[in-house]
Amino acid sequence: MNKKNTPKNTKAKKADKISDVKNELKESKEKYLRLYSEFENYRRRTSKEKLEMIEVSNQELIKDILPVIDDFERALKAIKSKQKDDFEGFNLISQKLDNILRKYNLIKMEVNKEDVFDLELHEAITNTPASKKFKGKIIDIIEEGYLIGEKIIRHAKVVIGS
């Protein structure tokens, strides 16, 4: 009798084939899961990079607008001494501009005269002789500082007492 065609050998061959197919299936599932995980990581990473790129471009736009805001605020201060009707239009434009900038999370730093000079927030343009009471404190604010969220876009430019 031929051993090759015995029922035991046929069963063993079928069991081996089934085992091989199961191993291939298991390997395919593992490859699929790895590939899926890599794709999800890639998708998250690219989404984050897109958001960062948009944020950076918004920061650049706002940096370019800041000098215009400074000039506008100086013009408002100069015209406020005149009749109220003369600067009503300026106030409307200013409010609209402020609303747009708030939409992009631009926040004006809270800097006041007599605040203690902080190198992290302020840029000293110059210093001026002052009494002991004002040494190391802000005497005048030349340009306002701005933040987007918690990131400093421009330091406040100040005069400090020495």
Q: pLDDT tens digit string along 16-54?
A: 889 999 999 999 999 999 999 999 999 999 988 888 887
The confidence score (pLDDT) of residue 50 equals 85
* Residue 119 placed within a domain: yes
Residue 95: inside a domain = no
Return the CATH number at 152.
Answer: 2.30.22.10
* Rounded Cα distance, 25 and 38, in Å: 20
Residue 104: what pLDDT? Answer: 79
Range of the domain at 112: 107-162
Task: Give domain status of residue 65, yes or no.
Answer: no
Sign of CA dihedral 126, 130, 136, 138: negative
Average pLDDT over residues 3-28: 81
Three-state DSSP at 67 gives: helix
Query: What is d(CA 67, CA 143) in angstroms, rounded to the nearest whole number?
Result: 9
- The answer to whether residues 111 and 141 touch, using CB atoms and an 8 Å cutoff, is yes
Residue 155 lies in a domain: yes
User: d(Cα 69, Cα 101) in Å, to the nearest integer?
Assistant: 10
Q: Please indicate, yes or no, if residue 152 is contained in any of the structural domains.
A: yes
| Number of domains making up the chain | 1
Evaluate if residue 156 carries a pLDDT over 90: yes
Q: Give residue 31's pLDDT.
A: 93
Q: Is residue 75 part of a domain?
A: no
Q: 108 forms bridges with which residues in the sheet?
A: 146
pLDDT in tens, 58-83: 787 888 888 888 878 877 777 776 66
- Residue 111 forms part of a structural domain: yes
Percent of the chain at pLDDT exceeding 70: 90
Residue 144 lies in a domain: yes
- Please say if the pLDDT value at position 114 is more than 80: yes
